[in-house]
Amino acid sequence: MKAAVLREVGKPLQIEDVQISKPGPHEVLIRTAAAGVCHSDLHFMEGKYPYPLPAVLGHESAGVVEAIGSEVRTVKVGDHVITCLSAFCGHCEYCLTGHMSLCVSPDTKRDQEAEPRLTSPTGPMMQYLNLSSFAEHMLIHEHACVSIRKDMPLDRAALIGCGVMTGVGAVIHTSNVRPGDTVAVIGCGGVGLAAVNGAAMAGAGRVIAIDMSPGKENLAKSMGATDFVLGGDDVVKQVMEMTKGGVQHSFEAIGLSKTAEQSFNMLRRGGTANIIGMIPVGQTISLMGAAFLGEKRIQGSLMGSNRFPVDMPRLVDAYMAGKLHLDDMISRRIRLDQVNEAFEEMKTGAVARSVIVFDA
């Protein structure tokens, strides 16, 4: 099969022929229909987060089940599925206490002495974030995908696999936004726009979208933002004045120390800042200690604190009901061999999401 391979940090992905194994007892073989090009992949390409190489990248995807292992009970051949990088074992402490997105059990991976799921003529190929979806097929654990209704377009379903689940989940699960709450979202890329949409779906009374690009205003408002503010050094002051003391929930969806600090500083007393963006390894943030006397909180959110086998089909239903706005999130549909172009466009900040469509 054709796949986009990262062999060296700082270099473009290479389109190569990669061999894929047959499903083990709890594994599922999926024909990839669509894969979103996510900023997280760029972090690994640039070395901001380390990962063993060579690896097939990609982690936001949807497809059709082609084969299943002997013990698989969650999906069947022919099912349309959304994948999720937060594969879960189902029996560890995290899973049993309802925190499936935090599961790190090795049970969802093949043993080191077993045949690798992916190989190339030069040797084993690393599977990226349990998925490796920049490829014509994926071989994954059954607890890394969920079956969805077949009338859902798979190019839009792919977005739910990471960016939408991360943004909406951070709002609904991690920060528990309630009707009437005030919300600010810093960064209007795919994840930030999903957070904006999620806040609107949760009934937030005011949703302030913040981005450095003025061209994002109309898109953010189409997702449910009530206000748009250009990012910059005075953004905290602007938000504090607009809300007469700060917001109850803020969401940083870029991955920068400066914007993480801003997300905390724009809170009202008792507010919560949620860091969704991937701040590069080694970077730190600085906060005023006295602010904690106002019971302000700052916390991380991993994949929207999801329970994806339940959440993702519900998000599909929300899209089909016209509540989750996925159509406008797709800036461009591309072929696999255009993936490097998509990453270059991503760096400009002008696009929301490019989606690789494999049947195109």
So which residues are the catalytic ones?
Answer: 38, 40, 43, 59, 162
For residue 309, give the 3-state DSSP assignment: helix
Q: Which of 285, 287, 293, 245 is nearest to 267 (CA)?
A: 245
d(CA 259, CA 237): 13
**Residue 59 three-state SS:** coil
Q: What are the angstrom distances between the C-alpha of 341 and each of 15, 55, 192, 348?
A: 13, 19, 22, 11
Beta bridge partners of 185: 209, 251
User: Whole-angstrom Cα distance, residue 261 to residue 8?
Assistant: 32
Helix ranges, the chain (H)? 39-45, 93-96, 154-159, 165-169, 190-201, 217-222, 235-243, 257-265, 308-320, 339-348
- What angle (nearest 5°) sits at the alpha carbon of residue 332, between those of residues 329 and 336? 120
DSSP 52: -
Residue type, 22: K
Strand partners of residue 120: 123
State both tokens at 39.
């900023």
Q: CB–CB of 312/145 below 8 Å?
A: no
Indicate the SS3 state at residue 84: coil
- 3-state SS, residue 139: strand
User: What secondary structure does DSSP assign to 186-255, as a single string?
Assistant: E--SHHHHHHHHHHHHTT-SEEEEEES-GGGHHHHHHTT-SEEEE-STTHHHHHHHHHTS-EEEEEE-S-
